[in-house]
Chain A
């Protein structure tokens, strides 16, 4: 099946009045397969929103190719826009309109039957506040309304920029369940977010962008595996036994890094080998945990945005590591 979303070599340069230029996208690539929840990650100013806006025809690219559901965009965007629901950046609505009015007007503009308005209000949990003016809404409620507006068309591709922004913990979980449910129903979801824990839980695949270029892409599991060190954390019954354990493991050919209360062991094919080697010397393991990379650490490593003590990182201070496509 053809990808739902394809971007190849996308370029965008913003030019100022006085000839100043800032490269926002520098040959960016991205592919999203049908039916998956795809995380789109990047530091502030890395080009995420520019990418989404370019995709939706709001910004003109300087180069590159984009396809949505097989249609080249922006040329054929009008033909496919009915199947794309999107919220870009923070939700913005007329504050004096009610949620129902807001959605009803959008439904009219997009030829969507009016009963669909009540369906999406129910879906995002705004049914009982539908008649209230948007100005009385909290940020989280506005976010729900934005998601409702994106769902109004029953899209095949749903693009959400920071949908969990402003949501309470319950709301975040509801949003997560909603997205999973939508994906299970066949909808493809592109999710731009800074809540990496959420992305890790919810997304099937990710693309990470830094300074306008893709720095990694692939399934979440594969991206994490590619960045895991293969180390195993080892604790013994007594911390006093750690030096002896380190000596034994080193003799067995493992790489050992000693910490105050544990060892980090690498170069051993199977963790069970560690138990066996130590037990043979009457050293008994109390904890044996593979050290797995999380998305946050991968993100910080690839984008070079990890905080450094005593330094104040500026918005555009990120790096572009060599592009890596993680394949199964």
Chain B
């Protein structure tokens, strides 16, 4: 318990922890402010004005059609250059009032995306804090100092990881609470919060839990990479290499090798599946022509499957980090 208390204090005293949490909050704050000012409350007067504007626009386009385009179009039909049914003119249903209404924030429709944004930003914040918390300690000699006080190395590393994840999860949850409150306020002032049911809240809750999983996974990933490399920069380097390899190298290689469902090897696709519940992949190279056209083969990535892959990979990395600290000299 004493080591946990010391680690919790140390983590909160570190500049990187404070700075990255602040950066995360500032970015979320800016997004909230931008969302607030780019949305507007829609009332009956706004709807009426939009309906009038839609009607006016329809009439303008219709006039334009009748005065300038229709005759030319019919000549083209007579000449046989375009099909007979090509000269339809504008349709009233294509000029709907909602197209002319200002953007409005519908909490029920938009909050899921906002949870995704929160998870991505906090996941990145967690990754940096996680990598720095152990990487800086290795490079500064603090870890060696600590091990002369607590020689059970695996216990030290696992305590550090547990404290990190606990702290990051606590901060992420607190920030999510403020984030949800901010979005609710925006919905109230610049949109609507109508239509929320217990089922919707439950769904948001589950998405938030999966988002918290992303945050925790980010922190764990940074921590174990920096722990294995004994430097913060190693974690950052591996991260950059991973992005470059998956976004560029792997894409080219998989498409050149004509691998079926190449997207299944990309982290981002699994992240989408995890956060959105599922991701459907299509393989254009594997068509079913029984209907007369190409029906591409489908692969469904469920959040459970992607979660198992992420979880397995992280567990393997944590295991490697623990094995390494147990067996490698501290020099």
Residues on A facing B (Cβ under 8 Å): 53, 56-60, 74, 77-78, 81, 84, 86, 88, 92-97, 101, 104-106, 108-111, 149, 153
Q: What's the least CB distance linking A153 to chain B, in Å?
A: 8
- Whether A56 contacts B151 by the Cβ 8 Å rule is yes
> Which applies to chain A's interface (DSSP): helix, strand, loop or mixed?
loop
- Whether B140 contacts A109 by the Cβ 8 Å rule is no
Identify 7 residue pairs between A and B in the complex whose beta-carbon atoms are under 8 Å apart, listed by A's number: A81-B149, A93-B142, A94-B14, A94-B142, A108-B2, A109-B6, A110-B149
Q: Is the C-beta of B152 less than 8 angstroms from some C-beta in chain A?
A: yes
CB closest residue in chain A, given B144: A58
Q: Which residues of B contact A149 (CB under 8 A)?
A: 145
Instruction: Give a binary string over B298-331; 1 marks a CB under 8 Å from any A CB, 0 the rest.
Output: 0000000000000000000000000000010111
Q: Which residues of B contact A101 (CB under 8 A)?
A: 13
Q: Which residues of B contact A60 (CB under 8 A)?
A: 327, 329
- Whether B9 contacts A58 by the Cβ 8 Å rule is no
Q: Which residues of A contact B14 (CB under 8 A)?
A: 94, 96
Q: Which residues of B contact A94 (CB under 8 A)?
A: 14, 136-137, 140, 142
Residues on B facing A (Cβ under 8 Å): 2-3, 5-7, 9-10, 13-15, 136-137, 140-142, 144-152, 327, 329-331
Return the contact of A106 from the options B137, B145, B327, B330 (Cβ within 8 A).
B145
- Whether B140 contacts A92 by the Cβ 8 Å rule is yes
5 smallest CB-CB distances across A and B, nearest first, come from A92-B141, A108-B6, A109-B6, A58-B330, A57-B151
- Whether A59 contacts B13 by the Cβ 8 Å rule is no
- Whether A58 contacts B331 by the Cβ 8 Å rule is yes
Question: A106-B6, A106-B145 provided; 12 other pairs, C-beta below 8 A?
Answer: A56-B151, A58-B330, A59-B331, A60-B327, A78-B151, A81-B149, A84-B148, A92-B145, A104-B9, A105-B13, A106-B146, A109-B3
Q: What's the least CB distance linking A131 to chain B, in Å?
A: 13
Q: What's the least CB distance linking B241 to chain A, in Å?
A: 20
- Docked complex Cα distance between A77 and B148 (Å): 10
- Whether A105 contacts B10 by the Cβ 8 Å rule is yes
Q: Which of A53, A58, A96, A153 has the most chain B CB atoms closer than 10 A to its own CB?
A: A58
CB closest residue in chain B, given A90: B141
Return the contact of B146 from the options A88, A96, A109 (Cβ within 8 A).
A109
- Whether A97 contacts B146 by the Cβ 8 Å rule is no
Given contacts A105-B10, A109-B3, contact A92 B148 (CB under 8 A): no
- Whether A81 contacts B151 by the Cβ 8 Å rule is yes
- Whether A105 contacts B6 by the Cβ 8 Å rule is yes
Q: Which residues of A contact B10 (CB under 8 A)?
A: 105
CB closest residue in chain B, given A107: B6
- Whether A78 contacts B144 by the Cβ 8 Å rule is no
Given contacts A53-B330, A93-B140, A93-B141, contact A108 B151 (CB under 8 A): no
Return the contact of A92 from the options B2, B15, B144 (Cβ within 8 A).
B144
- Whether A58 contacts B147 by the Cβ 8 Å rule is yes
Q: What's the least CB distance linking B175 to chain A, in Å?
A: 24
Q: Which residues of B contact A110 (CB under 8 A)?
A: 2, 149-150
Return the contact of B329 from the options A58, A84, A92, A104 (Cβ within 8 A).
A58
- Docked complex Cα distance between A93 and B151 (Å): 18
- Whether A109 contacts B149 by the Cβ 8 Å rule is yes
Q: What's the least CB distance linking A148 to chain B, in Å?
A: 12
Q: What's the least CB distance linking B5 to chain A, in Å?
A: 5
Q: What's the least CB distance linking B57 to chain A, in Å?
A: 61
- Docked complex Cα distance between A108 and B163 (Å): 14
CB closest residue in chain B, given A80: B151
Q: Which residues of A contact B150 (CB under 8 A)?
A: 78, 81, 109-110
Q: What's the least CB distance linking A275 to chain B, in Å?
A: 57
Q: What's the least CB distance linking B136 to chain A, in Å?
A: 7
- Whether A56 contacts B2 by the Cβ 8 Å rule is no
- Whether B148 contacts A88 by the Cβ 8 Å rule is yes
Q: Which residues of A contact B140 (CB under 8 A)?
A: 92-95
- Whether A74 contacts B141 by the Cβ 8 Å rule is no
Q: Which residues of B contact A78 (CB under 8 A)?
A: 150-152
- Docked complex Cα distance between A93 and B7 (Å): 15
Q: What's the least CB distance linking A201 to chain B, in Å?
A: 27
- Docked complex Cα distance between A74 and B9 (Å): 29
- Docked complex Cα distance between A81 and B150 (Å): 8
- Docked complex Cα distance between A97 and B14 (Å): 8
Q: What's the least CB distance linking A194 to chain B, in Å?
A: 20
- Docked complex Cα distance between A74 and B330 (Å): 14
Q: What's the least CB distance linking B120 to chain A, in Å?
A: 29
- Whether B6 contacts A86 by the Cβ 8 Å rule is no
Q: Which residues of B contact A53 (CB under 8 A)?
A: 329-331
Q: Which of A56, A57, A109 has the most chain B CB atoms closer than 10 A to its own CB?
A: A109
Q: What's the least CB distance linking B160 to chain A, in Å?
A: 11
Q: Which residues of B contact A96 (CB under 8 A)?
A: 14-15
Q: Which residues of A contact B331 (CB under 8 A)?
A: 53, 58-59
Q: What's the least CB distance linking A327 to chain B, in Å?
A: 33
Q: What's the least CB distance linking B142 to chain A, in Å?
A: 6
Q: Which residues of A contact B151 (CB under 8 A)?
A: 56-57, 74, 77-78, 81
- Docked complex Cα distance between A74 and B329 (Å): 13
- Whether B144 contacts A97 by the Cβ 8 Å rule is no
Given contacts A92-B140, A93-B141, A97-B13, contact A108 B330 (CB under 8 A): no
Q: What's the least CB distance linking B161 to chain A, in Å?
A: 16
- Whether B2 contacts A59 by the Cβ 8 Å rule is no
Q: Which of B141, B142, B145 has the most chain A CB atoms closer than 10 A to its own CB?
A: B145
Q: What's the least CB distance linking B50 to chain A, in Å?
A: 56
Given contacts A56-B148, A58-B144, A92-B141, contact A108 B9 (CB under 8 A): yes
- Whether A59 contacts B329 by the Cβ 8 Å rule is yes
Return the contact of A86 from the options B5, B9, B148 (Cβ within 8 A).
B148
Q: What's the least CB distance linking A152 to chain B, in Å?
A: 9
